[in-house]
Amino acid sequence: MKQRNVLVLFFFLMITVAQSQQLSDYDLWLKYNLIENSELSDSYSKITNSISISSESEVFKNLKKELSLALPKILNNKTKFQNGFTNETTLLIDTFKNLPTDLKPKIQKSIDSVNEEGFIIKSIAFNNKQLTIITAKKEVGLLYGTFKLLEFMQLHKPLTDIDVVDSPKIQLRMLNHWDNLDRSVERGYAGFSLWNWQKLPEHIDQRYIDYARANASIGINATVLTNVNANALVLTPMYLEKVEALANVFRGYGIKVYLTARFSAPIEIGNLETADPLDSEVQKWWANKASEIYKRIPDFGGFLVKANSEGQPGPQNYGRNHVDGANMMATALEPFGGNVIWRAFVYSEHDDTDRAKQAYDEFLPYDGKFKDNVVVQVKNGPIDFQPREPFHPMFGALKKTPLAMEFQITQEYLGFSSHLVFLPKLFEEVLDTDTYQKGKGSTIAKIIDGSLYRNKITVMAGVSNIGTDINWTGHPFAQANWYGFGRLAWDPYISSEQIADEWLRLTYNTDDAFVEPVKRMMLTSREAVVNYMNPIGLHHIFDTGHHYGPGPWVDNLGRPDWNPVYYHQTDTEGIGFDRTTSGSNATEQYAPHVQDMYNDVTAIPEEYLLWFHHLPWNYKLKNGEILWDGIAIKYQEGVDQVKTMIKTWDASKSYVSEQEYNDVKMLLQIQLKEAQWWRDACLLYFQTFSKLPLPDKVEKPTHTLEYYQSLKFPFAPGIKPKWD
């Protein structure tokens, strides 16, 4: 090949990369960028030079496909696969039981310490050569180990003496898709549902496969395909055939499929006259339905159920309770090994108790009464996925019932997909919180991973932010929230900083000069959104229905606890919801130590102040500011933080492609505009009560309160379609 051709080729190479750049967001954190450091590249090439894979199972096929895709891109190498272990093998991938006998002793101790989904990556000297082994008890561990090896390469970690022994700490690491059968996604801000029901089961969209790859790469092993506001039709044969086709794709990536089960399905699609869980016909109907599903999908996960909540049918429609409902379904699934995940997000329009208290009140008496294959799924806070909430009092309080954590990855109350908010920071704050329910150190992480109460089932669920947008999540940085959720579901003790660091390197650039400032930007982004939306414990002051933008003035909704005025309780005297002993006494639901802290206005962390206390406008904050000034300054601080984010991103321009730069930049402009809108609208509104001037350092609003109140967004994304 002549020199000229070389240059031409090189030029063409650049161009080809430039072209695919346009859609590079699609590749998520699986970019598999070329390693330019030749020493590193050579050392990785030695390890992956000759790969032994012995099985043709779906999981093996998929991990082989991944290596075949990744290694040539990372290493400029053609990868050789062998069917079985030979003298040439440099990388051996097999389950422990199939390892060569003389290798087993070197791994035995490690293999004993991992669980059914864990894996080992170990470099050993064997026959005078370096051999790297990925092994596990089950095939799925090999898949996780393979992705881990590729991750390490992308992170430029040394592999020569690699010795990784890793197991997921939580059994079910699950996405909840609030996807409707019409492909709208409730609280979806990244386009529409991935599931193209119309073309299933025949047409397997490449996205189904790439979705499974992405999930497997971070250890997500379960997916609920449908909205918790469920439609019974998904349980009919026409749809089950389509669900089966998806399950067939996902199985090879270690992912189990769950469905949401509408409690009234026996009436709607079963021709029964009741859905009473104690009715034997109803019980038989669910048993038959379970049997029908498992015939199609032998590893079907089970049902996720929202019952007697926000208008959904449930056992209470028949004078029964949550235990009756959940156990009835659990009985149907039990013979097949399926689970019922029963949501605790309940609050009643006929109950004027503080909404923050209702789920605890309702579920505590049932502790220990659910069947073994029932998990109760609890949102991280007692209200509804606010930018910041104190932890849900059910965590730690139910000691005999396994509780699943429900995080929301989609940013219903956190700026949709226009705002850059790094959620692992929020997740970490929740997981690290000490409930004191079994003494000091009773953190939520320990409750969720089952170590505190020795639960048989452990679950972490995330309400998905995934849609049909080419970049999957709407905002490129929202990919980090999907990624981070997966990482924390695998190990709820890793830090959000580590997650941000890894994600940035995998996604954009491994240069520290890029990673460090952008990581700081990510890590402050969550506090920014708290500041410009809901500072100092304010909450649920969003506009109605779509939750887009501020609506602290809204007071005309059907029930009190849907109205923002219910949550901020503002009057001319002050602001905040008194949930202490003098108020709704929501604090009583926490362990005594926590109660004392929350009840005591001097002891409570100020970020929860107005969640638990109603305080006068001139109340003195710890920094000496009066409350009104403190609120106003926090709003301004949030806006200022967004401005700093923009500066940081501008400074990172040379480390990303032009399109990547522009894309995020335009979104940050929206974030800034909306942060200012939040600040101005909320402060103007609260000012009508406080009658106090804005502190000097707070920018003057650009519009009147009436203007902000006049804004209407009938087509804001993510709202529930009317045909539901």
Active site residues: 310, 384, 412
Asked if 704 touches a second copy (CB under 8 A), the answer is no
Query: Is 174 or 506 the residue whose CB approaches a second copy more closely?
Result: 506
Asked if 12 touches a second copy (CB under 8 A), the answer is yes
Structure-block tokens of residue 493: 């003790």
End-to-end CA distance of the chain: 64
Q: Rounded to the nearest whole angstrom, what is the least distance from the CB of residue 23 to a second copy in the complex? A: 5
DSSP structure string for 2-30:
-HHHHHHHHHHHHHHHHHHHTTGGGGTT-
Asked if 61 touches a second copy (CB under 8 A), the answer is no
Asked if 113 touches a second copy (CB under 8 A), the answer is no
Q: Rounded to the nearest whole angstrom, what is the least distance from the CB of residue 503 to a second copy in the complex? A: 21
Kindly give the residue spans of alpha helices, DSSP state H, lying in 297-443.
322-333, 355-363, 424-432
* Binding piece for a second copy, criterion CB under 8 A, among 5-13, 83-91, 146-154, 306-314: 5-13
Instruction: Please tell me the distance from the alpha carbon of residue 513 to that of residue 519, in angstroms, as a whole number.
Output: 10
Q: Please, which of residues 172-211 interact with a second copy by CB under 8 A?
A: 181-184, 189, 191-192, 197-199, 202-204, 206-207, 210
Q: Rounded to the nearest whole angstrom, what is the least distance from the CB of residue 27 to a second copy in the complex? A: 8
Instruction: Please tell me the distance from the alpha carbon of residue 581 to that of residue 585, in angstroms, as a whole number.
Output: 4
Structure-block tokens of residue 404: 């699943």
CA angle 395, 400, 403 (to 5 degrees): 40
* Binding piece for a second copy, criterion CB under 8 A, among 126-134, 276-284, 393-401, 463-471: 463-471
* Binding piece for a second copy, criterion CB under 8 A, among 269-277, 422-430, 486-494, 708-716: 708-716
Among 468, 498, 569, 585, binds a second copy (CB under 8 A): 468
Q: Rounded to the nearest whole angstrom, what is the least distance from the CB of residue 235 to a second copy in the complex? A: 14
Q: Please, which of residues 390-429 interact with a second copy by CB under 8 A?
A: 416, 418
Among 670, 695, 699, 705, binds a second copy (CB under 8 A): 670
DSSP label at residue 435: -
- Residue 208 near residue 242 (C-beta atoms within 8 A): no
Query: Is 71 or 174 the residue whose CB approaches a second copy more closely?
Result: 71
Non-local (6+) Cβ contacts of 519 within 8 A are 497, 500, 501, 504
Q: Rounded to the nearest whole angstrom, what is the least distance from the CB of residue 12 to a second copy in the complex? A: 5
DSSP label at residue 549: S
Among 80, 673, 697, 703, binds a second copy (CB under 8 A): 673
- What Å distances lie between residue 93 and 67, 249, 346, 604, CA to CA? 11, 22, 47, 52
Instruction: Please tell me the distance from the alpha carbon of residue 147 to that of residue 654, in angstroms, as a whole number.
Output: 29
| Sign of the dihedral through C-alpha 57, 62, 66, 72 | positive
Asked if 703 touches a second copy (CB under 8 A), the answer is no
Instruction: Please tell me the distance from the alpha carbon of residue 593 to that of residue 640, in angstroms, as a whole number.
Output: 36
CA dihedral in degrees (358, 361, 365, 366; nearest 10)?
A: 20
Measured in degrees and rounded to the nearest 5, phi and psi for residue 595 equal -50, -50
Asked if 669 touches a second copy (CB under 8 A), the answer is yes
Q: Rounded to the nearest whole angstrom, what is the least distance from the CB of residue 477 to a second copy in the complex? A: 14
Q: Rounded to the nearest whole angstrom, what is the least distance from the CB of residue 211 to a second copy in the complex? A: 13
Asked if 15 touches a second copy (CB under 8 A), the answer is yes
Q: Rounded to the nearest whole angstrom, what is the least distance from the CB of residue 70 to a second copy in the complex? A: 10
- Residue 561 near residue 352 (C-beta atoms within 8 A): no
Query: Is 379 or 546 the residue whose CB approaches a second copy more closely?
Result: 546
Query: Is 104 or 653 the residue whose CB approaches a second copy more closely?
Result: 653
Using alpha carbons, select from 327, 469, 607, 459 the residue that is nearest to residue 26: 469
Among 36, 56, 78, 101, binds a second copy (CB under 8 A): 78
Using alpha carbons, select from 266, 259, 253 the residue that is nearest to residue 301: 259
Binding site for a second copy (CB under 8 A): 1, 3, 6, 8-13, 15-17, 19-20, 22-23, 26, 34, 69, 72-73, 76-78, 181-184, 189, 191-192, 197-199, 202-204, 206-207, 210, 233, 416, 418, 468-470, 659, 663, 666-667, 669-670, 673, 714-717, 721-723
